[in-house]
């Protein structure tokens, strides 16, 4: 009697038809993938033959050049993919095609690795199939598939056939009806898949997904001679020294879908722990989808020249304008081959490629400043996203960044330039964020800085208001907004002492300021005399702690203003003639003084790019002030 505690081992049971249906319709989301899988299998077969022929040259016979031929018959609804590779015997077909997820390529790789371990060979096979399920994607488009194959060096041939519903047949095939060597896959297309027998459709898929496999591909329509549509060469696999500028430009236009010239080409081969080739182009003009809300990159991923996906995050989002590809030799794939695993290999490639592109941009900035200025003009707003998002590279990106400033009317300045020109006793890097450089240059917030010759960065991109809140400063100097908190300009001398802004506050103006605090109430957080104004009467600034004025506006516009938004501070120029006159004349007329204070506040809002809080009340006050002036 068996031991009741002993475990009982049983095999899994499966409905093969349902399993095959699930795999075909769930593993793959894009029907086009079937052709890529067939071409990949054909390329693998040619590569296997190349390796076997090293030991047995007679296998090549009088047909040594590998090829893949696709034949389409639109009228019959039939598509044929044929190769002259290693082929399969009857038993190999039963094992490879009759068992889901048993890959002949995987078995060949295992044998190859065993042989290499014995003879020390370091040459690797350029083989793609690893999981043995790619072939079954044909049942997404075909209701019957036939595979005729003859093993290289064999006189026998066999025919495998299935409707993809759980069963298949294998029969001997008359050698006269079989390929001389290799495999012929015939697809009887479903009614809704007959466009896959159209020449334009096949050419598009091959060029997009399989145009760089290391085997020439030809396409023929029924009764016509095959015409080569892919030459089996990959530009990125060639040495950089052998590729002309024109060839790079042509390839860039094809891979990027743009018509400009690349401003920068990054082409290198990484060897060692991870092997891959990267070919990346920095455009000279912005792509149309540069500010797509998804912020997706457009780098293509290949594995041994076979296209895998254009949806892999091979670069951070702040480099999404870069176009190109990575061809990996050892990146692991998931079972569908439509999405790569988030593996350490991918992370290493991403890090290496990002560092290389960033390094090449730094070299371009140093060696060709005019070219880099155009790149920055086009992509600076996107690169600055990295200052906010990529803390690891923040210092490097700040060094690379270029800015408009009050010290330059038409060109860019670097932070190194800024720090080199710091004034005596200047402890911060000042900036002003807003709409456009011309508008910012006329801002009253800059008057005190201009009087002392202090440079202010003019930040006009929305992302600027965010990265300055996280940046740790540059060379020990923090970033400080010219429209937030106290200007702290008292310690900085004007170039000419006579030009130093006056900061004395008369008793009458001090009384006006005290009245304004009471009259404006909750509309402001404070009213104070300003040391940043020289020619304007008033301005609004943000409190010392909290958000900058521009960031407040951005958040308010998107409905995300924190805690309803911090109340601004109204700064009054105590030495301004208008302020002094209002302070003196309004001392005995509280109604007049109230109108004057509120008009000053509305003036500050207008100078800050806002509308008066109450346009009708503003109009009435202005009318009363004009009437008083005319009496």
Whether residue 485 is annotated as binding a ligand: the answer is no
Cβ atoms of 239 and 227 within 8 Å: the answer is: no
* Cα-to-chain-centroid distance, residue 131: 30
Which two three-digit tokens encode residue 27?
């593993």
Whether residue 131 is annotated as binding a ligand: the answer is yes
Whether residue 135 is annotated as binding a ligand: the answer is yes
Task: Give the other-Cβ count within 10 Å of 429's Cβ.
Answer: 22
The CA distances from residue 311 to 184, 291, 488, 493, 593, in Å, are 32, 17, 49, 56, 64
Which two three-digit tokens encode residue 502?
């006056």
Q: By CB neighbour count within 10 A (0-12 exposed, 13-18 middle, 19+ buried), where does 537 fall?
A: buried
In the three-class reduction of DSSP (H, G, I as helix; E, B as strand; rest coil), residue 332 is classed as coil
Whether residue 41 is annotated as binding a ligand: the answer is yes
In the three-class reduction of DSSP (H, G, I as helix; E, B as strand; rest coil), residue 19 is classed as helix
Name the DSSP class of 494.
P
Whether residue 426 is annotated as binding a ligand: the answer is no
Cβ atoms of 479 and 575 within 8 Å: the answer is: no
Distance, in Å, from the CA atom of 594 to the CA atom of 600, rounded to the nearest integer, reads 10
Whether residue 355 is annotated as binding a ligand: the answer is no
Distance, in Å, from the CA atom of 42 to the CA atom of 81, rounded to the nearest integer, reads 8
Whether residue 130 is annotated as binding a ligand: the answer is yes
* Cα-to-chain-centroid distance, residue 407: 33
Cβ atoms of 40 and 306 within 8 Å: the answer is: yes
Whether residue 434 is annotated as binding a ligand: the answer is no
Name the DSSP class of 24.
I
Distance, in Å, from the CA atom of 256 to the CA atom of 263, rounded to the nearest integer, reads 13
Whether residue 565 is annotated as binding a ligand: the answer is no
Angle at 375 between CA 372 and CA 376, to 5 degrees: 85
Which two three-digit tokens encode residue 298?
């457009």
Cβ atoms of 468 and 481 within 8 Å: the answer is: yes
Task: Give the other-Cβ count within 10 Å of 74's Cβ.
Answer: 16
Distance, in Å, from the CA atom of 305 to the CA atom of 206, rounded to the nearest integer, reads 12
Whether residue 406 is annotated as binding a ligand: the answer is no
Cβ neighbors of 342 (< 8 A, separation 6 or more) are: none
Distance, in Å, from the CA atom of 387 to the CA atom of 167, rounded to the nearest integer, reads 58
Cβ atoms of 249 and 279 within 8 Å: the answer is: no
CA-nearest of 178, 140, 176 to 158 is 178
Distance, in Å, from the CA atom of 622 to the CA atom of 596, rounded to the nearest integer, reads 9
Cβ neighbors of 522 (< 8 A, separation 6 or more) are: 567
Which two three-digit tokens encode residue 182?
């290799």
For the annotated binding site, the residues are 37, 41, 83, 88, 103-104, 130-135, 183, 337
For the annotated binding site for ATP, the residues are 37, 41, 83, 88, 103-104, 130-135, 183, 337
């Amino acid at each position: 009697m068996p031991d009741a505690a002993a475990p009982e081992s049983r095999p899994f049971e499966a409905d093969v038809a349902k399993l095959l249906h699930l795999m075909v319709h769930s593993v793959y989301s894009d029907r086009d993938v079937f052709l890529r899988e067939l071409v990949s299998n054909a390329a693998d077969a040619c590569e296997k033959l190349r390796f076997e022929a090293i030991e047995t040259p007679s296998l090549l016979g009088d047909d040594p050049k590998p090829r893949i031929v696709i034949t389409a018959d639109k009228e019959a609804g039939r598509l044929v993919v044929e190769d002259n590779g290693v082929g399969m015997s009857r038993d190999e077909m039963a094992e490879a095609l009759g068992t889901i997820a048993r890959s002949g390529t995987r078995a060949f790789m295992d044998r190859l690795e065993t042989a290499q371990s014995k003879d020390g060979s370091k040459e690797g096979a350029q083989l793609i199939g690893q999981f043995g399920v790619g072939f079954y994607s044909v049942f997404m488009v075909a209701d019957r598939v036939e595979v005729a194959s003859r093993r290289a060096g064999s006189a026998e041939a066999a025919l495998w056939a299935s409707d993809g519903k759980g069963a298949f047949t294998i029969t001997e095939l008359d050698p006269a009806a079989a390929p001389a060597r290799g495999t012929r896959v015939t697809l009887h297309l479903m009614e809704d898949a007959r466009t896959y027998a159209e020449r334009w459709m096949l050419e598009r898929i091959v060029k997009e997904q399989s145009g760089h496999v290391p085997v020439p591909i030809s396409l023929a329509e029924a009764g016509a001679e095959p015409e080569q549509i892919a030459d089996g060469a990959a530009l990125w696999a060639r040495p950089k020294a052998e590729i002309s500028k024109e060839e790079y430009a042509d390839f860039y236009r094809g891979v990027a879908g743009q018509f400009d010239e690349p401003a920068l080409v990054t082409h290198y081969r990484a060897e060692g722990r991870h092997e891959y080739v990267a070919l990346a182009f920095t455009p000279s003009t912005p792509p149309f989808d540069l500010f797509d809300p998804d912020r997706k990159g457009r780098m293509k991923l290949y594995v041994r020249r076979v296209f895998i996906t254009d949806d892999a995050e091979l670069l951070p989002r702040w480099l999404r304008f870069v176009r190109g590809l990575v061809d990996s030799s050892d990146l692991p794939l998931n079972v569908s081959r439509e999405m790569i695993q988030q593996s350490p290999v991918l992370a290493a490639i991403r890090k290496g490629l990002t560092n290389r592109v960033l390094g090449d941009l730094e070299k371009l900035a140093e060696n060709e400043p005019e070219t880099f200025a155009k790149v920055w003009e086009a992509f600076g707003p996107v690169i600055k996203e990295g200052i906010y998002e990529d803390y690891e590279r923040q210092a490097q990106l700040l060094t690379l960044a270029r800015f408009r400033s009050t010290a330059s009317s038409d060109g860019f300045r670097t932070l190194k330039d800024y720090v080199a020109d710091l004034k005596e006793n200047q402890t911060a890097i000042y900036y002003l964020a807003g709409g456009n450089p011309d508008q910012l240059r006329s801002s009253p917030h800059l008057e005190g800085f201009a009087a002392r010759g202090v440079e202010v960065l003019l930040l006009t991109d929305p992302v600027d208001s965010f990265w300055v809140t996280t940046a740790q400063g540059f060379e020990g100097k923090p970033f400080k907004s010219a429209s937030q908190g106290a200007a702290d300009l008292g310690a900085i001398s004007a170039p000419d002492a006579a030009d130093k802004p006056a900061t004395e506050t008369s008793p009458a103006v001090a009384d006006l300021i005290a009245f304004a605090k009471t009259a404006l109430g909750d509309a402001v957080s404070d009213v104070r005399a300003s040391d940043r104004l020289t020619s304007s009467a008033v301005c609004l600034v943000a409190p010392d702690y909290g958000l900058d004025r521009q960031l407040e506006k951005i958040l308010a516009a998107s409905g995300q203003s924190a805690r309803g938004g911090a109340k601004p501070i109204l700064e009054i120029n105590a030495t301004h003639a208008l302020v002094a006159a209002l302070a003196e004349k309004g001392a005995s007329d509280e109604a007049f003084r109230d109108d004057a204070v509120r008009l000053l506040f509305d003036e500050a809002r207008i100078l800050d790019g806002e509308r008066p809080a109450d346009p009708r009340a503003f109009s009435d006050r202005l009318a009363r002030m004009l009437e008083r002036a005319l009496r």
